[in-house]
Structure 1
Amino acid sequence: MKIAILGSGGVGGYFGARLAAAGYDVTFVARGKHLEAIRRNGLRVVSPMGDIEIPNARTVDAVDGVGKVDLVLVAVKLWDTESAAQSLKPLVDQGAAVVSFQNGVHKDEVLARHLPLQSIFGGVCYIASVISEPGVITHSGTMQKLTFGEYDGSQSPRVTAFYDACQIAKITAEITRDIRRLIWEKFVFLVGLSGTTASIRKPIGPIRENPRTREFLLQVMEEVVAVGRAKGVDLPADFAQDRLAFCDSIPATMTSSMHHDLERGNRLELPWLSRGVAEFGAELNIATPRNRAIADILELYTPGTPQ
């Protein structure tokens, strides 16, 4: 299996490195100082699951340098999805399948505007990892899982082949027959985690321990559940409580990529997270005051404030 990683940061860099270390033909699409460092020193992953070094990682700075591949893993930031989708058409025309492990629930709809729907299958990733310095991915904790599946629920050869690759690469993986629901389940947690950690400027530990911020976290997630159910997603009415219990099980130091981006002055994925929930709510006539407040609080930081 030949695999291209479009977006070689915390998600793409980590899972791509595991696949490359297992012997798969992996091409990393990267840019800037990160690309320069990988070309100079190789790609390095620091992880409690075992460090990885890919000294001669195959890298390109644009999709047109990838060549023919079987599968593209999309892991770019959400604002790059539109341009990424447009760039992938030549690879799809040559037979590549596409799976996105980006955040949120908008991603595959954007991809499908530019690519044949049958070329896309759905994916969700669970990991806490960041580019700690150019060429280096740091993975926190032991959670590193990919869940994926066809939107029609079938167990296709391409999904099975990717699952087998994950097993060989020691990536925890699962095939689901209800990927849309799984994407929304993660979205409930993700919006809660990203919205509260970024707006409160604290990791999950203090937020879940204080009664008022704990209730705020729960209400943020309840709004996402209400929106998802209104859109026809099969989420239990009390699913936010389930996710709050999950928040109690994760390390107290865990935070979100949006919180990291805020602290570093980077652009935020806010329009596709709390702002996206507020916009869905407005369309569906569902009140989303907590998510709208988060979106308004962080609005000035959304474009980024680079030093």
Structure 2
Amino acid sequence: MKILVVGAGAIGGYFGGRLLEKGEGVTFLVRERRKQELESTGLNIDSVNGNCRLTPQLITKNSEPHPYDVVLLSTKSYQLADAIEDMRPFVGEDTMVLPLLNGIAHVDQLIEAFGETSVIGGLCFVETTLDENGTIVQSSPVNQLVYGERSGEETDRIRQLKRAFDGTKAEFMLSHKINQEMWHKYLFITTMSGITTLFEKPIGPIRKLASGQRTIAVLLEELETVMEADGAPIEKGISKKLLERINGLGEEMKSSMQRDAEKSKPIEAEHLQGFLLAKARESGVAVPVLETVFTKLKLYEQAVKK
């Protein structure tokens, strides 16, 4: 398959790199600066799951337009509008658009841009970052990408995609319940990002405190209630399962939002916490912990803009 990865950052570079390492036909759509960097250094991955040094195929938004079989999209939400325009010349009638963004709101934006049938479901679990040399550093065993038709069907195109994804050093998993899994990931990441960024600590020290443990549990319950009120396809009692998962994370685990905040970079407050806060207001659901988290995040954003 002809696979286009939008961006060669921490997530797209990692999963795209694993596919390229396997021998798949991967091209990276990048900005001119990143293109020059990668032409000089190559695409380098330092990972507990195996290091690799790759020579990637690169294009920019000004390259000759032609459609790809699948476009893998892993930008931040605040980069999505620009990414849609950059990738538009490379999306054809039969192209699958596979987004790995956190949250849910981006799905409607992509459907509006490329059509209902073009957009499939996706999410990922991976702890990865770019170092000062542009190397992708992946530091934990978890490196999972989950994908599937939003209808739940196992179509011919999804089977073809599975053949391309199988056999890499990352875990590419086909799901027949991708909508539900995306909402579950949304609940998980909105809690993790909100809690760790609120308290400016890794998850370990927070959850060791009885008050911290309770704050995590209440936020999960608030978000589950909001999602249920909105008709989201979540599993009943999912907040309790996710609390167990959070309590099983490594002591030093940080969210990507917290890492971005530590570097005074933009964060996805509106896309993650803000979207659900708006849904809570529409439904009349009380969410005091979510309100507290969102206030902290907006104050951070105001301070960074000064």
With the shorter chain as reference, the TM-score category is: over 0.9
Partner of 1:52: 52
Runs (5+) with no aligned partner, structure 1: none
For structure 1, which segment, 156-165 or 177-186, has the greater mean C-alpha deviation from structure 2 after superposition? 156-165
1:25 aligned partner, one-letter code: G
C-alpha displacement at 1:136, in angstroms?
Answer: 0.7
CA distance in 2, matches of 1:254, 1:30: 29
CA contact (8 A) 2:67 2:89 kept: no
TM superposition score normalised by structure 2: 0.94
CA distance in 1, matches of 2:229, 2:45: 41
Indicate whether 1:140 and 2:139 are aligned: yes
C-alpha displacement at 1:63, in angstroms?
Answer: 6.8
For structure 1, which segment, 23-32 or 88-97, has the greater mean C-alpha deviation from structure 2 after superposition? 88-97
Indicate whether 1:213 and 2:212 are aligned: yes
C-alpha displacement at 1:34, in angstroms?
Answer: 3.9
CA distance in 2, matches of 1:293, 1:303: 16
Partner of 2:43: 43
For structure 1, which segment, 209-218 or 295-304, has the greater mean C-alpha deviation from structure 2 after superposition? 295-304
CA distance in 1, matches of 2:111, 2:173: 23
Partner of 1:22: 22
Partner of 1:193: 192
Residues 304 and 168 (structure 1), Cα distance of their counterparts in 2 relative to 1, 3 Å cut: farther
CA distance in 1, matches of 2:83, 2:176: 26
For structure 1, which segment, 287-296 or 13-22, has the greater mean C-alpha deviation from structure 2 after superposition? 287-296
Indicate whether 1:103 and 2:102 are aligned: yes
C-alpha displacement at 1:94, in angstroms?
Answer: 5.3
CA contact (8 A) 1:205 1:254 kept: yes
CA contact (8 A) 2:125 2:142 kept: yes
2:107 aligned partner, one-letter code: D
TM superposition score normalised by structure 1: 0.93
Query: Matched residues, percent identical?
Result: 26
Equivalent residues in 2 for 1:1-307, closer than 5 Å: 1-31=1-31, 34-54=34-54, 56-62=55-61, 64-65=63-64, 67-93=66-92, 95-302=94-301, 305=304
Residues 219 and 168 (structure 1), Cα distance of their counterparts in 2 relative to 1, 3 Å cut: same
CA contact (8 A) 2:269 2:294 kept: yes
- Cα deviation digits, residues 111-134 of structure 1 (max 9, x gap): 111111111100011111111234
CA distance in 1, matches of 2:61, 2:294: 32
Runs (5+) with no aligned partner, structure 2: none
